Amino acid sequence: MDSITIEVAGLRLSLCFDGKVPLLSDTFNHFLCNEDSAKEKARIKLLYSATLPNIEEIGLIKDSKSVTNVLPVSGGFLFSRREGQLLAAQGFSYCHAWKIHGNLYPFPEPFEGSPWVLFVLWGWLSLNGGALLHGSLSFIDGHTVLFLGNSGTGKTTLSRIVAESGFSCLTEENPFVKIHESTPWAYATPWPGAFGRKAPLSGPIKAIFFLRHSSKNELQKCTPQGAAARLLKNVRFFNWLPITIPPAIDLINEIIRIVPIYDFGFVPEKSAINTIRGVL
């Protein structure tokens, strides 16, 4: 059985395959690590196979289409969607993914789109005080900053301008956040990609910017109440396990207490980056 080890958000994931390890993108290669290089890291094992795990009465969920469904089973939870199924046990520390029908490859590709490995990270971090946001993560002037907003507000556009300005976009869609040494930290993920120079894949959050298109560059600091309302809409709660929601809300409150949060109307030009740099 072939395997690789990656590190995302301070977690070591051992990915094991019945067949050969699929071809990795350049972005994903940045997250590869040596299995023995940091034994103190929290660890997750994810097995990909074309067969069912050996558990009794697994209770298959059929016709899930693109929706992810959950079913409690002995020792964990069974998640099912169009791409296949995932058994998560031991608080997401051990997981087994497989397809309902047919061969494992080429569908699903373990590292593209919204793969099971991202889902496993999301579940583990949600159970351990972390959260997944809808936004991009950039590294500007040595600072880690988050650009948040709904689809169409300019996250990808501004991320590309960050790269064109000589800085780094670490991920344009799925950053994780959690408290590290009493400080809110943001963590890059390989999904869906990055732009610009290589940079640290995590760091303390210097500022958060909620984006909107505008006829000029304009920054306004959010009130705590306004910041809370916007972050609550932005965070991707792991709704399949309701016990993860209160810790995520606690994390949001801690971020608001420590990190400056801005409303940022911008024009799609490099001048927008100069406006951001002025408050970092």
Q: Specify the 3-state DSSP secondary structure of 66.
A: coil
**Domain ranges within the chain, ordered by starting residue:** 2-127, 131-277
- Record the pTM: 0.89
What residues contact 93, with CB distance under 8 A and at least 6 apart? 43, 44, 45, 124
For residue 235, what is the DSSP state?
Answer: E
> Which H or E run contains 265?
strand 261-266
Residue 191's pLDDT band (cuts 50, 70, 90): confident
For the cut 90, the answer to whether the pLDDT of residue 213 exceeds it is: yes
For 33-64, how does the pLDDT look when each residue is reduced to its tens digit (9 = 90+)? 876 555 556 789 998 887 665 554 445 444 44
C-alpha torsion sign, points 109, 114, 115, 117: positive
Summarised one tens digit per residue, pLDDT across range 85-137 is: 889 998 999 999 887 555 444 444 566 666 888 999 999 999 999 999 999 99
Phi-psi region of 255 (alpha: psi -120 to 50; beta: other; left: phi over 0): alpha
Which of these, 132, 171, 119, 90, lies nearest to 251 by C-alpha position?
132
- Residues written for the chain: 280
Residue whose C-alpha is closest to residue 7's, from 58, 54, 44, 60:
44
Name which CATH class applies to 131-277: alpha beta
